[in-house]
Homo-oligomer: A and B are copies of this chain.
């Protein structure tokens, strides 16, 4: 469970400080899947980094699985907005990094890493280095790295932004299957309203500068939501339209 209470974050800078987030409140229940949408620059990545313990809030408190966040924890996996792959490791080696960091047996980890890489469509690319991969391939490697530890808390920052429409649907379906099989408490930042509606239990809309929670919409569509078919459901269309409107109102800089 994640509890964000009255959290603000300001970035100091010579050319004037930027208030990225202002008194954010957000609660994600155990095993819940919350999507976060908002305009570019409204503070979504900042929010994830705060929850992950990479940044300290200027004010307010954050608790994750009952403990106040002071530093990153092994129970929380973060998939950053950039792939952030180690250039000297192969795709497989990059996926195995968290296994090594947690000092778990490499052999078992490697089996799972190969399964994950195969599942995201990188079957022939296990032994390629990041600079031999396309942008979307790098992102999928980063996705595997976030998933390999089966974390209790999963934070994902636009995990599918570099993927084409079809691969994206594919990945979303797999993510949903994983989530249904073993629900991790998930915060999923995305730019696609559709994706948010199809994956999430609830969708939080942030408004920009400073970022505030504008609305949290509960999505009451039964799972599993097959992305191809469900996308046509009137309930989905309604949610998407509503969120679109909220987003549009939520401020043009």
Instruction: List the interface of chain A (C-beta within 8 A of B).
Output: 11, 13, 15, 18, 37-41, 44-45, 81-82, 121, 123-124, 127-128, 132-137, 140, 158, 161-168, 191-193, 244, 247-248, 252-253
Whether the Cβ atoms of B40 and A137 lie closer than 8 Å is yes
Docked CA distance A121–B252 (Å): 8
Docked CA distance A81–B41 (Å): 19
Docked CA distance A81–B81 (Å): 14
Q: Which residues of B contact A140 (CB under 8 A)?
A: 40
Q: Which residues of B contact A167 (CB under 8 A)?
A: 39-40
Q: Which single member of B13, B133, B158, B247 contacts A165 (CB below 8 Å)?
A: B247
Q: Which residue of B lies closest to A37 (CB)?
A: B164
Tell me, rounded to whole Å, the shortest Cβ–Cβ distance linking A7 to chain B.
Answer: 18
A–B complex contacts, Cβ < 8 Å, 30 sampled: A11-B132, A13-B128, A15-B127, A18-B132, A38-B164, A39-B164, A40-B134, A40-B135, A40-B137, A40-B162, A40-B167, A41-B133, A41-B134, A41-B136, A41-B137, A44-B134, A45-B134, A81-B135, A81-B162, A121-B252, A124-B253, A135-B158, A136-B191, A158-B162, A161-B161, A163-B191, A164-B247, A165-B192, A165-B244, A166-B244
Q: Which residue of B lies closest to A247 (CB)?
A: B166
Tell me, rounded to whole Å, the shortest Cβ–Cβ distance linking A17 to chain B.
Answer: 10
